[in-house]
Amino acid sequence: MGMGLIGTVVAVVLMAVAAAIIFVFILIPVLKLLGKLFGHIGRTLVDIVADALRFVGSVLVIPVFMLLTVGSVVVGRWSATGHYGRAVSSEFKSAGLNLYRVAIGHPLRLIGLGLVIDGFEKRLPEVVAAAPGRDKPKGRKNQFDGYTIVGSLAGGGSGARLYIAEPDDLKLAAFERRGIADAQQVVIKAFHLNEGSSLPQIIRESRALDAAKRLGLVLEHDLTEERFYYVMRYVPGDQLTLVAQRAHADSGAHGLNDKQLRKLLGHGRDLFSTLSLYHSGGLWHKDVKPDNVVVDETGAHLVDLGLITPLRSAMTLTTHGTEYFRDPELVRMALRGVKVNEVDGAKFDIYAAAAVLYSMIENSFPAHGGLSQITRRCPESVRWIIRRGMTEYDKRYGSMKEMLADLDFVLASNDPFAVKPAELPSMKGGHVESAEPVLDENEAFLASVAAARAAHPGPAALHSPVPPKPEPHTHLGSRPRLQVTGWWSGKYRVDEQGAGKMDQMAEVAQAVMPPPPPARSVSQHARARNASEQLKSARARAKERRTRAMQRASAHRSRLRGRSRSGLNHGAAVAVGVCVGLVSIPVTLALLPASGSSTTANSGNKASVNIGNDAVSLTVGDKNISAEKTPVSYAELYDDRGRAVVLSMFSPPVEAGMKARIEDSLEALRQIGFEIVEDLDVQAELRKQRELAPSDPKQAAKSMWKWIDEQDGAYDLALVLAPAPKNKPEDPDKLVALMAGEDNYTWSIDPSLSDIVTGVMKSIGN
Amino acid sequence: MLTNVTTGFIDRLRGNDEAAWFELWETFGPVLRTQLTKWGKGRIGAETVRDLSQETLAALSGSIDRYDPTRGARFSTWLLAIAKHVLGDEMDKRMALKRGSGKRGASFEEAWMTAAPEMGVDEEYEAAVFRAKVEAALRNVEKKADFVDFSIYRMRVLDGMPGKDVAGQVGVSEPTISRRLTKVRELLRVEMREVIGKFSFTEEELEEAKRNGVELNPSKADDGLFDEAIAEICHQQQELRRRDEESARYGGP
């Protein structure tokens, strides 16, 4: 009996324990699993229903937008047409995406096949977006004389189109006469005002071009009324990103094997060497990243000259570049308004080059900046190089040569893993002189370029848009040393070796530098005081403008964004084509000519850039605006010019041609950096001023000049576009433009666009 | 209670000091983007997430003048509430645009100013904010410490290399390694006090270092634990940034 009871109790306890175990280890996980499963199914169903409803919503709203598009076409509201057209396009995309999700995406995710469609949803759009554009430019007039287009490349962020081309025999002969041999294929980078490029982009690129010409990277450039292009050698290779991915695929998950490591370090060496050459030439590449390094059988070549900046430029730092390969310190400095020549831009390239080395080793990007950890197989000495390159601005390598010397040391060893950081040249005190005299660098640079051009160029020189690798320096120059011989008297003597070096530098200076300016006379010094006062005043004005510019920066940017989408896009064109075709073909036919004149605000803006050896100028129509400007000061032309009050004195209805001219003038002002003030009160004040002024254009412009002066710097330009007086009532309407700035005033009767731009520049003292 | 550091930083933000805004963006941008991506649940793309995280800071700049420190909001809650508002506003705008319903955007009721447990701040987010603060402190140390000293700290603590190996690699003795480690560790503690003070609004937030195993007023015995915690935090932060960038590149978390 007792035993039976004990047995029962034990059995119950065991069963309870078993039940608890089953509950804890089986039931709870199963329930959790079921919960997750039902949750997953529930969420997916909700998503399906939501997307289905969105699809229905899009389908319902599309016809409404199409009707609005057609209506806008009929009443001639072209801006609204573009707006509604974009909305139709957006709705079509949205509907398609929702349909795809409902029919394919969600069901596949429901059954756990989400990874299958990742390729379609993530990689496919990325690859499509990165695909090259048209293989050939549209229309005969857009071809390039002397070149046959054979392909295209994906454009970058500069708004340019990139074509691969083959020069004809005449071009090849011309290249050979200039010492450029075997340029069988070239890349043409073309900016077209009517194909999405803007003047600021062209200006930025032209600055880079001027610098690139000094490096011998640009073979030829040309301009027409509406486009600007330049020609570079073609490097038929793969981007470093792809090469690194392949190397990692070949090596395994833990990192690069010895063979691939050495190969990629070699590419890194090529990059460092090229950058060293850039810096020697006084240039900062500014956009070093794996995608801008092309690898072929001869090595790695740095491409994309779009952001090249002279190290001694007086421009303010900008934040251009690519995140993760751009030193955050650069952004901080740019925000503080630091000038390029106040920092060592080469150090930012050093950061980027180290980040590229990191990306090769890790097959990833340095998401943590200088703190990014290297988790894959990598020699400690290479880690050190990367870290020293990516550390704080004032602690990183002093020059690219120093970094290159360290990497060379690693590559020269039989086993890179055996090299300790302590053994690197930069750590042993036998480091390369970081503060190298620029003249010696120029000498080395010029010698290397000259040697490359004079001799039969090697394969690297033939296919690369970068100059050949520099020969190792046999000497690294140092500044002449002064030895003080008497502290009390201040006597000193120049070190002999240094003096010899000084002579050598002087010779090079004569060869590469412009002659020094003549010594100033006493009277010139006296005038300098006036100049400094002027400078002080100019700085005060600039500061005031900067303050105003900061206050309106956000609105200005949004306007720029809006402008970049101006005009009819593809979706709108399709929508208009379909709807108008269905509704009213005759109406469409009747309106086609109007469409041509009003949708292309740039069509009348015949601006082009002329880049000479020493100067860059802007040609608008048949007028040359700034022939005397250097590229840097030319770029300054396009800085924030201030606020312009524009007033049209034409009474509605304004004739279409005149309306287009007024709009073109506004667009031109925006293009050259003005913010158009849209305050009706201010315009009313200006109108009153104009109405009170005499009808004579000169007096009227002078009156506006006074008005601008009375505004205490609130506005920088007044532009009044009014009907010109008629001699006879039947005379056609003419335009008179009155322009007044802080410095000057002018007027022009029946001006072309270029006359207006020229007058505006004159008015503001340019 | 706000520290002087905090109020100084808030003053800089109020003064529209761009460097201060960049610091805020650099430190907490990845955390905000991760949170927005999580909330967006695939409805918003990577580009939108980036825009929204910037708009969050823009909204913050608009509300900074109305910030009342006496109402007890945590710094992390403050950031998150504004991010949530910005996201909600974006969603409302989209719905209004899509349907033409004329639904107005979300109103900004400044609920973020009060301690609001209903905001749904999860532990993961709080931990991410703390990690971001530690990362910011490490960056400051990198700026201030000698390069070799900081490299020694990285090799020993963040990479987990034995002290003997570090000494061999850098070419100094082990006692030197130990001295330099101590130097950097102390600097890091100072910087962490500074950064946590700067980005904390409440007493409770000021104490979060200790809760996360990072003792800022330690005994010698705490050094090992401190280093371990820092290494762990760094690895997690690295992973967060990696996911953030992948999300930006491939359009999903």
Instruction: Write out chain A residues lying below 8 Å of B18, CB-based.
Output: 335-336
* CA dihedral (A611, A612, A613, A614) positive or negative: negative
Cross-chain Cβ contact A388/B171 below 8 Å? no
Nearest-Cα residue of chain A relative to residue B97? A87
| Residues sharing a CB contact under 8 Å with residue A351, sequence separation 6 or more, in sequence order | A325, A326, A327, A389, A390, A393, A396
Q: Which residue has the tokens 């710097």?
A: A713
How many angstroms separate the CA of residue B53 from the nearest CA in chain A? 16
Tokens of B116: 């609001």
| Residues sharing a CB contact under 8 Å with residue B239, sequence separation 6 or more, in sequence order | none
Tokens of A686: 């200006």
Residue A150 φ/ψ, nearest 5 degrees: -120, -5
Cα gap A586→A723, rounded to integer Å: 34
Q: How far is CA A226 from CA A195, A203, A594, A620, B44, in A?
A: 10, 14, 22, 10, 39
Q: Nearest by CB to A420, which of B22, B168, B250?
A: B168
How many angstroms separate the CA of residue B216 from the nearest CA in chain A? 21
Tokens of A578: 């379909």
User: Cβ of B26 under 8 Å from any chain A Cβ?
Assistant: yes
Tokens of A479: 């500044």
In DSSP terms, which residues pair with A675 in a beta bridge? Answer: A643
Cα gap B170→A380, rounded to integer Å: 10
Nearest-Cα residue of chain A relative to residue B132? A368
Q: Nearest by CB to A388, which of B143, B147, B238?
A: B147
Cross-chain Cβ contact A387/B99 below 8 Å? no
**Residue A132 CB: number of other CB atoms within 10 A?**
14
How many angstroms separate the CA of residue B207 from the nearest CA in chain A? 25
Cα gap B66→B7, rounded to integer Å: 14
Task: Show which of residues 108-147 on chain B sit within 8 Å of chain A, judged by CB atoms.
Answer: 135, 138-139, 142-143, 146-147
pTM: 0.54
Q: Across chain B, which distance is largest between two alpha carbons, in Å?
A: 73
User: Cβ of B175 under 8 Å from any chain A Cβ?
Assistant: no
Cross-chain Cβ contact B234/A121 below 8 Å? no
Nearest-Cα residue of chain A relative to residue B146? A395
Cross-chain Cβ contact A121/B251 below 8 Å? yes
Tokens of A677: 């003030």
Instruction: Write out chain A residues lying below 8 Å of B26, CB-based.
Output: 328
Instruction: Write out chain B residues lying below 8 Å of A328, CB-based.
Output: 26
Q: Nearest by CB to A328, which of B26, B135, B238?
A: B26
What pLDDT shows up at residue A411?
A: 93
Cα gap A670→A667, rounded to integer Å: 5
Instruction: Write out chain B residues lying below 8 Å of A127, CB-based.
Output: none
Alpha helices in A281-399 (DSSP H): 328-335, 346-362, 380-390
Q: How far is CA A752 from CA A620, A622, A652, in A?
A: 9, 9, 22
Among the listed residues B56, B57, B58, B114, the one whose alpha carbon sits nearest the alpha carbon of residue B85: B56
Could you tell me which CATH number the domain at A640-766 has?
3.40.50
A331 three-state secondary structure:
helix
The complex's ipTM works out to 0.74
How many angstroms separate the CA of residue A357 from the nearest CA in chain B? 17
How many angstroms separate the CA of residue A453 from the nearest CA in chain B? 42
Q: What is the DSSP string of chain B?
A: ---HHHHHHHHHHHTT-HHHHHHHHHHHHHHHHHHHHHHHTTSS-HHHHHHHHHHHHHHHHHHGGG--GGGB--HHHHHHHHHHHHHHHHHHHHHHHHHT--PPPPP---GGGB--GGG---HHHHHHHHHHHHHHHHHHHHHHS-HHHHHHHIIIIIS---HHHHHHHHTS-HHHHHHHHHHHHHHHHHHHHHHHHHT--SHHHHTHHHHTT--SS--TTHHHHHHHHHHHHHHHHHHHHHHHHHHHHHS--
Q: To which H or E segment does residue A233 belong?
A: strand A227-233
Cross-chain Cβ contact B138/A54 below 8 Å? no
User: Cβ of B206 under 8 Å from any chain A Cβ?
Assistant: no
Report the residue of A40, A373, A426, A558 to disrupt the B interface, i.e. the one with the largest count of B CBs within 10 Å.
Answer: A373
Tell me the HSE value of B143 on the side-chain side, using a 13 A CA sphere.
Answer: 10
* CA dihedral (B61, B63, B66, B68) positive or negative: negative
Note the Cα A529 to chain centre separation in Å.
Answer: 40
What pLDDT shows up at residue A361?
A: 93
**Chains A & B: contacts with CB separation below 8 Å:** 81
Q: What share of chain A is helix, strand, coil (3-state, %, to 5)?
A: 55, 15, 30
Cα gap B152→B142, rounded to integer Å: 11
The domain segmentation of chain B, as residue ranges, is 4-120+245-250, 124-241
Q: Nearest by CB to B250, which of A126, A392, A423?
A: A126
Report the residue of A121, A333, A371, A547 to disrupt the B interface, i.e. the one with the largest count of B CBs within 10 Å.
Answer: A371
Cross-chain Cβ contact A57/B99 below 8 Å? yes
Instruction: Write out chain B residues lying below 8 Å of A123, CB-based.
Output: 250
pLDDT (tens place) for every residue of chain B, 253 residues total: 445 556 677 777 777 777 777 777 778 877 777 777 777 665 666 667 667 766 776 677 666 666 666 666 677 777 777 777 666 666 666 655 555 444 444 443 334 333 334 445 567 777 888 888 888 899 889 989 999 999 999 999 988 899 999 999 999 999 999 999 999 999 998 898 888 888 877 777 777 777 766 666 666 667 888 888 888 888 887 777 777 666 655 544 3
Cα gap A650→A652, rounded to integer Å: 6
Cα gap B212→A263, rounded to integer Å: 43
For domain A240-463, give the fold: Transferase(Phosphotransferase); domain 1 (1.10.510)
Instruction: Write out chain B residues lying below 8 Å of A422, CB-based.
Output: 169-172
Note the Cα B79 to chain centre separation in Å.
Answer: 10
Q: What is the DSSP string of A107-158?
A: HHHHTT-HHHHHIIIIIHHHHHHTS---SS-SSGGGS-TTEEEEEEE---TT
For chain A, list residues whose CB is within 8 angstroms of any CB belonging to chain B. Answer: 54, 57-58, 61, 94, 121-123, 125-126, 324, 328, 331-332, 335-336, 364-365, 367-373, 380, 384, 387-388, 391-392, 395, 420-423, 427
User: Cβ of B19 under 8 Å from any chain A Cβ?
Assistant: yes
The domain segmentation of chain A, as residue ranges, is 9-129, 240-463, 482-510, 640-766
Cross-chain Cβ contact A427/B171 below 8 Å? yes
Report the residue of B47, B143, B237, B240 to disrupt the A interface, i.e. the one with the largest count of A CBs within 10 Å.
Answer: B143
Instruction: Write out chain A residues lying below 8 Å of B251, CB-based.
Output: 121-122, 125-126
Residue A625 and residue A761 in contact, taking contact as beta carbons nearer than 8 Å? yes
Residue A484 and residue A492 in contact, taking contact as beta carbons nearer than 8 Å? yes
User: Mean pLDDT for each 10-residue chunk of chain A (766 residues)?
Assistant: 81 90 86 87 87 88 89 80 81 85 84 74 68 64 79 70 86 80 82 69 66 72 76 85 89 87 94 89 86 87 80 77 81 81 89 94 81 87 93 90 93 91 81 43 43 37 36 38 50 48 38 36 42 67 65 49 42 52 51 36 39 44 43 41 82 76 82 77 78 80 84 82 74 82 83 82 76
Q: What is the DSSP string of A257-289?
A: -HHHHHHHHHHHHHHHHHHHHHHHTTEE-----
Class of B4-120+245-250 in CATH: mainly alpha
Cα gap A392→A389, rounded to integer Å: 8
Cross-chain Cβ contact B98/A57 below 8 Å? yes
Nearest-Cα residue of chain A relative to residue B100? A61
